[in-house]
Amino acid sequence: MYGNGQAPIFILKEGTQRTRGRSAQSNNIAAAKAVADSVRSTLGPKGMDKMLVDSMGDVVITNDGATILKEMDIEHPAAKMIIEVAKTQEQHCYDGTTSAVVLSGELLKRSEDLIEQNVHPTVICEGFRLAAEKAISLLEGHGISTNDNDAVLLEVAKTALTGKSAGAVKAFMADICVRAVNAVGVVDEGERIVDLGDIKVEKRQGGSIKDSTLIDGILLDKERVHAGMPRSINDARIALINSAVEVKKTEVDAKIQITDPNQLASFLAEEENYIRGLVDKIKASGANVLICQKGIDELAQHYLSKAGVFTIRRAKKSDMEALSKATGAQIVTNMDDLSAEDLGHAARVEERKIGESDMTFVTGCPEAKSVSVLLRGGTEHVVDEIRRAFDDAVGVVSVAWEDGAVLTGGGSVLAALSRDLRTYAETIGGREQMAIEAFASALEIIPRTLAENAGLDPVTTLIALRKAHADGESHAGINVYEGGVVDMKDGNVLEPLRVVEQAIQSATETAIMILRIDDVISSKGVSMADGFGGDGDFHM
Ligand code: ADP
Ligand code: MG
């Protein structure tokens, strides 16, 4: 090539690795598939949990796809792209992460077969794009309206909790989720919005899951500063202060020389007067609860206690903001500005012992567009997994509340889509038809995996499922408890439409992105093949 003695020109740094063409493609596909395989066994009600141990020896036990992938230390760039699928799914829909990842793995696996049959990757990509578009347009037709019906939302929450450790108390947890979402959901110019930031979650180890509660107000992980203060206050008038209740420190280091004992006494009296003045201002405002973001000095605590003011110090900034929202209080910086108008209201402020520590419950807030949930569980690992399950469940309820549309689960809708896409493929023809058919088959990975994880024979079950749909049973899905297929609408297995839509969308986009790569240039010296070959040395 470089004739006439011309030296080759290097445009890449020394040590740069490069894989091209088919081998780049198959490496990427293998890596992506390995990631998908690693979470497959957790899918569905009969999915198993994983125990993840990090380099520090910390243990996480979870069934949550996104968490598993987050905790795994993955290096391969294509594998990382699959993890992005889970992240996107989690961010937009709170659920369906495992499904999205498993689906993108299956799309890639099916495209490998097509590549072997000499179908060009760009044709596969085009076919996949058409198929996804069609599938998503068909989804609407399968939608069931929630009609603002709590019973439907409860079933959505219960479906999300199935198979998690919180599954045993599904109805109980689902009820908390639905009440929380109903409390914070707002309709703004016709747009329905749930800001999950308005649902504050505190977890406490100890007790049982059933000790979890929803509070129509704010829960603070704080106790009152002085035992002499009342433990509870009814008809609370709450002052929120974000400056310290203490003698102001001077900016410069000053030394005061005292030559006479009287001088010391008057100096101390001066300090005491100042503190007393601050407390008087709080009293004068009419506040009987003070929540301070900064410190409160001992003398001030003493006076506040004598005045019967329930006081908390060093509250978190986020808690101050939540309190302001829930109680209607203004956060005041300068004590001189504090007046009755700045105070917020709550029916009751109370300190209660929860597990080992004391917490403060601010309940009965007039504008409780902000609520708190206290989650309990026997051990740290249990509470952590309950928290993750709760986040999923409250998330899907919020999505269903916002969109008002749900689908039947258990692979029922995907089986229906798969069938419809096969018919659609015939109208396209050519090699793209093959890609659309491959896409249609890939969708069946969800019911197939649900069956496998439930210990059912995947082939027999899929055949039964196809037959049910051919017979017009459009809600037929996998019966993971008794085998065979069952009507998912009758079984109340419901999930938000957005979860399925997003899963199809991001799985397709990622599969396409990975398929389009035919050249991997790596400067870090990341080995592209390590650990992801078909030789099974990638373990979970
Ligand atoms: P993901 O991370 O994708 O949400 P899950 O482990 O939560 O994974 O499993 C979700 C799948 O399980 C969905 O396809 C859902 O329809 C299905 N599923 C949930 N409950 C049932 C049930 N009772 N019977 C059959 N399938 C169910
Ligand atoms: Mg789920």
E-strand spans in 199-270?
A: 199-205, 213-215, 217-220, 232-241
What pLDDT score was predicted for residue 249? 66
pLDDT tens across 426-476, in order?
999 888 999 999 999 999 999 999 999 999 999 999 999 999 999 999 999
Q: What is the pLDDT of residues 102-154, one digit of tens each?
A: 999 999 999 999 999 999 999 999 999 999 999 999 999 999 999 889 999 99
Arithmetic mean of pLDDT, 70-90: 84
Mutational pocket test of ligand 1: of 99, 443, 486, 501, the residue with most ligand atoms within 8 Å of the beta carbon: 99
Confidence of residue 539 (pLDDT cuts 50, 70, 90): very low
Question: What pLDDT is recorded for position 540?
Answer: 41
For residue 208, how far is its CA from the centre of ligand 1 (angstroms)? 25
pLDDT at 525 over 70: no
Q: Which pLDDT value is given to residue 4?
A: 65
Distance 339 CA to ligand 1 centre (A): 54
Q: Residue of the nearest CA to atom 1 in ligand 1?
A: 96
Identify the CA nearest to 165 among candidates 443, 477, 384: 384
Band (529; pLDDT cuts 50, 70, 90): very low
User: Is the CB of residue 450 below 6 angstroms from any atom belonging to ligand 1?
Assistant: yes
Ligand 1 in reach of 409 Cβ (< 6 A):
yes
Nearest Cα residue to atom 11 of ligand 1:
44
The confidence score (pLDDT) of residue 169 equals: 85
* Greatest distance between any 2 Cα atoms in the chain: 104
Q: Ligand 1, residues 88, 101, 162: which to mutate, most atoms within 8 A of Cβ?
A: 162
CA angle 526, 529, 531 (to 5 degrees): 95
Entry pTM? 0.81
**Domains in the chain, please, with CATH?**
17-142+408-439+494-522 (1.10.560.10), 218-367 (3.50.7.10)
Does the structure show a pLDDT above 70 at 291? yes
Cα–Cα distance, 47 to 53 (Å, whole number): 19
Tokens of 116: 């072997």
* C-alpha distance from residue 207 to each of 221, 223, 257, 383 (Å): 17, 20, 57, 10
Provide the pLDDT for residue 9: 75
Q: Confidence class of residue 538 from pLDDT cuts 50, 70 and 90? A: very low
CA 447/CA 480 separation, integer angstroms: 10
162 lines ligand 1 (CB under 6 A): yes
Pairwise CA distance, residues 87 & 96, whole Å: 11
Q: What percent of the chain has pLDDT over 70?
A: 94
Rounded Cα distance between 374 and 289, Å, is: 22
Specify whether the CB–CB gap between 94 and 396 falls below 8 A.
Answer: yes
The catalytic residues are 64, 97-98, 392
Q: Is 499 in the pocket of ligand 1 (CB under 6 A)?
A: no
Instruction: Give the tens place of pLDDT for each residue, 195-254.
Output: 998 899 999 888 888 899 999 888 999 999 999 999 999 999 999 999 988 877 666 777
Locus of tokens 């968490």: 67
pLDDT in tens, 470-495: 999 999 999 999 999 999 999 999 99
Residue 299: what residue type? L
Q: Residue 259: what pLDDT?
A: 81
Which of 197, 204, 198, 165 has the alpha carbon at shortest distance from 390? 165
Cα angle for residues 409, 411, 414 (degrees, 5° grid): 105
